[in-house]
Amino acid sequence: MQSSESFGEEQEFRVRKLELSDKSKGFIELLQQLSLCDSVSDKEFEDRFRELSSLGDDHVICVIEDPGSGKIVATGSVFIEKKFLRNCGKVGHIEDVVVDSSARGMNLGKKVIGFLTDHARAIGCYKVILDCSLENRIFYEKCGFKQKEIQMVMYFI
Select 11 or 34, whichever has its Cβ closest to a second copy: 34
Give the C-alpha separation, 115 to 6, whole Å.
10
Residues 78-107 that bind a second copy (CB under 8 A): 79, 81-88, 93, 95-96
Report the DSSP beta bridge partners of residue 59: 79
**Run of H or E residues at 95:** strand 90-99
Contact flag: residue 138 with a second copy (CB under 8 A)? no
Collapsing DSSP states into helix, strand and coil, what is residue 80? Answer: strand
**Dihedral over alpha carbons 85, 96, 111, 103 (to 10 degrees):** 170
Does the protein bind a second copy through residue 117 (CB under 8 A)?
yes
CA atoms within 13 A on the CB side of 75: 24
Q: Radius of gyration over alpha carbons of the chain, in Å?
A: 16
Rounded Cα distance between 88 and 7, Å, is: 31
Instruction: Work out whether 2 is an interface residue with a second copy (CB under 8 A).
Output: no
- Residue 34, interface with a second copy (CB under 8 A)? yes
Output 97 or 106, the one with its CB closest to a second copy: 97
Which segment (8-16, 29-37, 66-74, 99-107) binds a second copy by CB under 8 A?
Answer: 29-37
Phi, psi of 76 (to 5 degrees): -170, 160
**Which stretch in 2-10, 31-39, 64-72, 101-109 sits in contact with a second copy by CB under 8 A?**
31-39
* Position 9 contacts a second copy (CB under 8 A): no
Q: Which residues bind a second copy (CB under 8 A)?
A: 27-28, 31, 34-38, 40, 44-45, 47-48, 51-52, 59, 61, 77, 79, 81-88, 93, 95-96, 117, 120-121, 125-134, 137, 140-141, 143-157
